[in-house]
Structure 1
Amino acid sequence: MTAASSASTPSASAQMKGILFIVVSNGIFGLTDALSKVLTGSYPPGEILFFRSVFVFVSIAVMVMAQGGWRRVQIVNWRLQWARGLLLAATSYIFVVVLKHLPLADLTAMMFISPLVLTALAPRFLGERVGWRRWTAVGIGFGGALLIIRPSGEGALWPMLLAATMPLTMSIRDIITRRLAVTDTATGMMICSTLCVMAGGLASLPFGWAIPTWEGLGLFALTGTLQGVAQFFLVYAFIYGEAVVVAPFRYFLLLWATLYGWLFFGAFPRAETITGAAIVCAAGLYIFYREMRHGRG
């Protein structure tokens, strides 16, 4: 290893900080999902998104001011920012709608299909070459997704089919994120996306909202604030640690979701869901490994 490369590589201590940040971030994200599921019992999806986003924005604003103020926020490509924000708003709305009907672990497992979809879209939209190994991993991963969806399983199928659209919207959002990362800061992306989700939630007001109780407002505030904190933890995870070290720990979110599903709702994933999630995660990790190897090669 050359002096230059060793200087640019984070120390073991920094790598551990990165891992800790992403594991804690996932734990907080999982908790906000569980709290949002609790809220779906009393409030419509749009109202949940609006109030949650208000407190997300407040927490982001406080952290921005603590880190040097708004001058450090850089937004150049407004058109792509709003497109990304609208995709996130659509994904968030679908998530909250189906969250009321699906176990937390099942829905979280569905979200991890997005790296497979992103790989499938990469040749067309990112100009990236995808070799046969990654295509094989995509195919195997989609097989695992079918186990999660359970086309012949128990209960209503429509929530899972609706949830199956999320990996597509998330993948398109990630494609836009890669392009924005060249010119815009991560904080700028968080601010724009939060405002879009807030506006999308507010647009549902004519369809009927429930008057929040003090307890409901407290849950909105707690959920939104925690989500804002989790976003900053996620950013710092990749500041301290290399992506090749930190990114695989994103899959800890599935463990958190399983834990919260059991603690809050007494739900535990079925054998088919566990098997399907394991296949999807393994395929996603292999794709990530191949991308890192290709990038370094």
Structure 2
Amino acid sequence: MTPRSQGLIFALTAVSIFAIQDGISKHLGQAYPAVFVAMIRYWFFAAFVLALASRNTGGIRQTAKSTRLLLQIVRGALLVAQIVVSIYSFSHVGLAQTHTIFAATPLVVACLSVPLLGETVGWRRWLAIGVGFLGILLIIDPTHASFGANMLIPITCTIMFAFYSVFTRMVSRTDTSQTSFFYTGIAGAAAVTLVGPFYWTSIAPNYWFWMAALCVTGMSGHYLLIRAFDLLDAVVVQPIFYWQTVLVCIIGTFIFGEVMTWNMIAGCVVVIGAGLFTILREAQLGKQRPPVEPPGAL
């Protein structure tokens, strides 16, 4: 098997695991506060990050060295906040509805890259961004009587993760990917631990399995994703994240009884198409993004 084939298998397996993790997050989020679920999840993730950092050259001390420490801490705290909102969205808006809107993340990142990163977006990508946002409008269907304020939750998640992605690109100019990954886990765990204990809840015996499964899927998914990035360019891995959207919609429909309406399906196709064009166009221009976690990947 070629390294490319191995990398694709690692990436597909990681994304599939992340989709299962999102389903578990929804199940737990319906029974426990989202902050509490995220805190337990992050404690195990932080232990995983520390274990990886200890194996790097120079150990944890060298891995933790950053020339943009404040920004690293901010992006770590921002991501854990986004994860909390995501779990809440999975439980109260739905897996399928949330992830179809998440699919617009590359489009939002492209918009933010102009004022925050000083990048230039050509007319083709602006056209793709415009088409993608029309797809979002098709998904949320604001003219329908059932449209509610809850739809703002996944939109907020998407914007938060887009800012996190841009901040990751900022720190990647000076810090290594190992350092960024370190602060993703450690700063995030520290931030959620400041709030999470106020939401502490006793876990029923029948939920311990699901909490353990949430932590195991997070660590195994990230390990496989790291292996994938070792073998493949980011531009090859990033489009595979859209497979997570498809799987999550299937899980939401067949396991949780969510309804995929025609406008959600059509809008998702439009958004994914626009996002793929934006990613591939950016790669053609030599502006590949550094590896970043997909929504719900921790």
- 1:273 aligned to 244, 264, 271, which one? 264
- 1:186 aligned to 174, 177, 192, which one? 177
CA contact (8 A) 2:117 2:170 kept: no
> Residues 72-121 of structure 1: CA distance to partner in whole angstroms, max 9, x if unpaired?
73531221111101210221121112211122122112112111111112
Moved more, 171-180 or 182-191: 182-191
Matched, 1:149 2:136: no
- Counterpart in 1 of 2:60? 70
For the aligned residues, what is the CA RMSD?
Answer: 2.3
- Say if 1:205 and 1:254 are closer, same or farther in 2 by CA, change over 3 A: closer
- SS of equivalent residue, structure 2 residue 175: coil
- Deviation (angstroms), 1:159: 2.0
- Say if 1:268 and 1:13 are closer, same or farther in 2 by CA, change over 3 A: farther
> Residues 156-181 of structure 1: CA distance to partner in whole angstroms, max 9, x if unpaired?
62221121112221111111111222
- SS of equivalent residue, structure 2 residue 285: helix
- Deviation (angstroms), 1:138: 0.3
Matched, 1:160 2:155: no
- SS of equivalent residue, structure 1 residue 211: coil
- Deviation (angstroms), 1:225: 2.2
- SS of equivalent residue, structure 1 residue 170: helix
Matched, 1:136 2:123: no
- SS of equivalent residue, structure 1 residue 165: helix
> Residues 10-33 of structure 1: CA distance to partner in whole angstroms, max 9, x if unpaired?
xx8222222212111111111111
Matches within 5 A, 1:233-248: 233-248=224-239
- 1:58 aligned to 47, 62, 72, which one? 47
Gaps of 5+ in 2: 288-298
Alpha-carbon separation, structure 1, partners of 2:181 and 2:216: 14
- Counterpart in 2 of 1:81? 72
Pair member with larger Rg: 1
Matched, 1:212 2:203: yes
Percent of aligned pairs sharing the same letter: 28
CA contact (8 A) 1:47 1:205 kept: yes
> Residues 200-222 of structure 1: CA distance to partner in whole angstroms, max 9, x if unpaired?
43344465432112332332222
CA contact (8 A) 2:39 2:196 kept: no
Matches within 5 A, 1:161-176: 161-176=152-167
CA contact (8 A) 1:87 1:173 kept: yes
- Deviation (angstroms), 1:262: 3.2
- Say if 1:44 and 1:155 are closer, same or farther in 2 by CA, change over 3 A: farther
CA contact (8 A) 2:242 2:272 kept: yes
- Say if 1:15 and 1:203 are closer, same or farther in 2 by CA, change over 3 A: same
- 2:10 aligned to 21, 27, 46, which one? 21
Moved more, 233-242 or 261-270: 261-270
Matched, 1:31 2:20: yes
- Say if 1:221 and 1:197 are closer, same or farther in 2 by CA, change over 3 A: farther
- Say if 1:159 and 1:284 are closer, same or farther in 2 by CA, change over 3 A: same
- Counterpart in 2 of 1:4? none
- Counterpart in 2 of 1:46? 35
Moved more, 215-224 or 192-201: 192-201
- Counterpart in 1 of 2:281? 290
* Matched residues, number: 285
Alpha-carbon separation, structure 2, partners of 1:154 and 1:63: 50
CA contact (8 A) 2:49 2:186 kept: no
- Deviation (angstroms), 1:64: 4.6
CA contact (8 A) 1:47 1:202 kept: no
In the superposition, the TM-score normalised over structure 1's length comes to: 0.87
In the superposition, the TM-score normalised over structure 2's length comes to: 0.87
